[in-house]
Amino acid sequence: MEIKATKVENTTQALEFQNSIEIQVPVSGVFEYVTDMRNLPQWNYDVTRVVQERGTSPAPGACYLQTQNTDDQRYEISHFEPGKSLTIQALPNSKPVFEREMRFEAVVNGTRLTDQWSIHKCPDILDRWAMGTMSAAIAENLGKLKELLETGRTELQNGRISRVASLSGLPPTAG
């Protein structure tokens, strides 16, 4: 499995990084699964729950409450282009303040998912070490997403087992 960290920058105002991964599943299936933010706990060990607070489907203006092991975050979808891209942004008073853009591109035998982050610096957290740690953790989570969508099952870093049933565009899972 290859996950590419193609961009890592540490500016005075934000930490920016980008990871990309190829998943051997059609774009339609990857896009449908990933853009339903309620699926995030299935492939991110630090996220325990995501509740959609506004809206009924992924669309601009949809808001979510994400519960992590150590805190909660609220964010909204600011851009949604079906089958191509999704951008989410932290809502006011949510820490850290971030913007995340996910782009989906058809490649031979599947999808290239590019996951780009911009995290606004907080003086008490986030330095070059933290940026590298966060980028690596996000890349590891993308690896779990790849395994889950390609095989129907993954074991997260904390030992939690996740399974996915067949969705449109995804291969059926073996019982």
Cis peptide before 60 (omega within 30 of 0): no
Among 123, 116, 127, which residue's Cα sits nearest to residue 21?
Answer: 116
CATH 3.30.43.10 for domain 3-46+96-163: no
Q: According to the model, what pLDDT value does residue 5 have?
A: 47
Statement: the pTM of the whole predicted model exceeds 0.75 = yes
User: For the packed helices 27-35 and 128-151, what is the interaxial angle rounded to 10 degrees?
Assistant: 120
Q: According to the model, what pLDDT value does residue 136 have?
A: 82
**How crowded is residue 58: how many other Cβ atoms within 10 Å of its Cβ?**
20
**Six-digit token string for 174:** 């073996």
**How crowded is residue 145: how many other Cβ atoms within 10 Å of its Cβ?**
24
- Successive 10-residue mean pLDDT values, the chain, 175 residues: 48 77 95 96 95 94 93 94 97 88 96 92 54 78 95 93 72 43
Among 11, 37, 7, 65, which residue's Cα sits nearest to residue 145?
Answer: 37
Q: According to the model, what pLDDT value does residue 120 have?
A: 79
Domain chopping of the chain, boundaries: 3-46+96-163
Q: According to the model, what pLDDT value does residue 36 have?
A: 95
Q: According to the model, what pLDDT value does residue 172 have?
A: 46
